[in-house]
């Protein structure tokens, strides 16, 4: 039996030096990616932002979230295409939940494209509930797309398993 070794992946706070790689990943993943300015503004505002990086220094994924009164709102979570399907999205979500719990926040919020079934299923598996719809929230090729609003009460959050752990 041949074992495929996955390179070690570590999580750390996002920095300005990550911007070029993040903009490149955004362009590959999304039809309407965040701009460099969106990332710069988020960092300048002090939003919670982490990256996953491979042992070779390759950007694996990242998230940006904004704190509010007793809540954390996920603004962007992305995994590079070549790293998708390996549990990195789940690991990023576990890290986000840990940050929220460390800050004593009660709720995690997010919006997700209505058509993004893969992400909606991940969020549901993690305990998020669909609680609303924002009509015309996302830009799209022909017309705007609705966003499903999802919420996770941290007291009801499922504890992360071993697969969620990231250095």
| The pLDDT of residue 7 | 64
For 73-105, the pLDDT digits (tens) are 999 999 999 999 999 999 999 999 999 999 999
> Is the per-residue pLDDT at 157 higher than 60?
no
Q: Write down the pTM of the prediction.
A: 0.85
| The pLDDT of residue 139 | 87
Alpha-carbon dihedral sign for residues 131, 134, 137, 142:
positive
> Is the per-residue pLDDT at 165 higher than 90?
no
| The pLDDT of residue 4 | 54
CATH topology for 9-164? Aminopeptidase (3.40.630)
Question: How much of the chain is helix, strand and coil, in % rounded to 5?
Answer: 35, 35, 30
> Is the per-residue pLDDT at 164 higher than 50?
no
| The pLDDT of residue 155 | 73
| The pLDDT of residue 9 | 93
Active site residues: 111, 123
| The pLDDT of residue 162 | 35
For the residues 25-53, what does the mean pLDDT come to?
96
Q: In whole angstroms, what is the distance from residue 148 CA to residue 122 CA?
A: 13
Q: In whole angstroms, what is the distance from residue 134 CA to residue 138 CA?
A: 9
| The pLDDT of residue 167 | 40
| The pLDDT of residue 6 | 58
Residues 6+ apart with CB under 8 A from 41: none
For the residues 1-6, what does the mean pLDDT come to?
50
Q: In whole angstroms, what is the distance from residue 106 CA to residue 72 CA?
A: 8
């Amino acid at each position: 039996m041949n074992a495929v070794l996955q390179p070690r992946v570590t999580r750390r706070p996002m920095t300005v030096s990550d911007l070029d790689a993040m903009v490149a990943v955004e362009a590959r993943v999304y039809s309407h990616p965040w701009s460099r300015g969106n990332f710069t503004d988020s960092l300048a505002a002090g939003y919670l932002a982490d990256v996953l990086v491979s042992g070779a220094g390759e950007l694996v994924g990242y998230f940006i979230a904004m704190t509010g009164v007793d809540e954390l709102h996920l603004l962007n979570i992305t995994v590079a295409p070549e790293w998708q399907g390996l549990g990195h999205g789940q690991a990023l979500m576990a890290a986000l939940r840990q940050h929220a719990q460390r800050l004593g926040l009660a709720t995690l919020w997010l919006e997700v494209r209505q058509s993004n079934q893969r992400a909606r299923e991940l969020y549901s598996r993690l305990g998020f509930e669909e609680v609303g719809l924002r009509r015309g929230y996302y830009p799209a090729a022909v017309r705007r797309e609705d966003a499903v609003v999802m919420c996770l009460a941290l007291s009801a959050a499922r504890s992360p398993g071993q697969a969620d752990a990231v250095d």
